[in-house]
Amino acid sequence: MATEAKRDYYEVLGVGKSASPDEIKKAYRKLAMQYHPDRNPGNAEAENKFKEATEAYEVLSNDQKRRMYDQFGHAGSSGQGFDPFSGFGGAGGDPFSTIFDAFFGQGARGGSRGGARQGADLRADLVISFEEAIFGTEKEIDYRRLESCTTCGGNGAEPGTEPTRCPKCQGSGEMRVRTFLNMVTVTTCDQCSGRGVIIPIPCKTCRGEGRIRETVKRKLTVPAGVDDGMRIRIGGAGDSGPSGGSAGDLYVNLRVQSHDFFVREENNILLQLPINIVQAALGAQLNVPTVDGDEPLNVPAGTQDGTVFTLRGKGVPYIDSSGRNLGRRGDQMVVVKVRVPTKLNDDQRELFQKLGETMGMDHFEQKERGFWSKIFGN
């Protein structure tokens, strides 16, 4: 079965055959930073180019291997399966630790090596009233988080002692193992549990963990216009990271209490307004409750059940995804519910009967009986 010919190592690095060791190293670092897997997660092409560049550098940076390669080509280099991570500080070493840390800082590489990892994100629930959701509020929440131990400064070692570099992973916190398919798998070092260091004498306060779980208080600004189920993120308020890693975030889930008579529909507020039949027939000037206080409402004569009146700008403020107020509000929709009396005294019954006579109710009843008789034949 034919195999694809390997590219010339000098061509891979983009240097001439007379290149100096410094030129080879400079060219390699440029390619390494461009194609390193930490900067190209899930990119198989970049991973292959990284392996190719690393293989070329491993040969050309070694005087003996370079002489063999110059004389015999690829046949002069090792015919064994190549490990792009070998020869750089032991089984768990990473040839780009110093490169990436120097140029981009630990965060550019995921912050996972050497034990310094980001702390966990936390979640908390906050119950607020209907009005607080409309107008915003200031709250103080209590929750538990892992804080850096003040006794040992977060390194987990008893004061007066220092953590030592893990001999198994050489301080990376990870182990790389080549499988039978020639793939490299990365696992957490089982000797230091991924911290990259060994604690000879654990801190008595945190028992070597470097962090202590404590109850903390934090003030929270709830913007006007939030709704039930919305979430507010507070950066850096989660658990402190192990071994000096950055803290996670706190996500506060809002739970808005229901109101006795207001109902929210997006940025509008609905209110059912009960009126009696006299008010509906003759009209009335009423005071209607809103979240801003009572507002006058003119109910015209002859208003029917289910009629909707709109109070402009008496609804919920509009906000964007960051919680910024957009400077406008929804409306309040007032839905009229005409209440028909179920119990009448003698005077009221007499008045309704007289009203019915003036409105021709007898004539209506005769016509109604005639209508049903046509259907049922009575």
Which residues participate in the annotated binding site for Zn(2+)? 149, 152, 166, 169, 189, 192, 203, 206
* Contacting residues for 205 by C-beta, under 8 A, at least 6 apart: 149, 150, 151, 152, 212
3-state class percentages of the chain: helix first, strand second, coil last, to nearest 5: 30, 25, 45
Q: Report the amino acid identity of residue 236.
A: G
Helix (H, G, I), strand (E, B) or coil at 160: coil
Residues tagged in the binding site annotation: 149, 152, 166, 169, 189, 192, 203, 206
| Residue 323 tokens, joined | 């919680």
Q: Report the amino acid identity of residue 41.
A: P
Q: Residue 261 gets which letter from DSSP?
A: S
φ/ψ of residue 272, rounded to 5: -85, 125
Q: Which of 270, 267, 317, 266 is nearest to 290 (CA)?
A: 270
d(CA 170, CA 112): 14
| Strand ranges, E, within the chain | 122-128, 137-148, 164-165, 174-178, 184-188, 197-198, 211-222, 231-234, 250-256, 262-265, 268-276, 284-288, 295-299, 308-311, 317-319, 325-329, 332-339
Q: Which of 224, 223, 221, 197 is nearest to 209 (CA)?
A: 197
d(CA 137, CA 139): 6
The CB density around residue 334, as the number of other CB atoms within 10 Å, is 23
* Contacting residues for 51 by C-beta, under 8 A, at least 6 apart: 82, 84
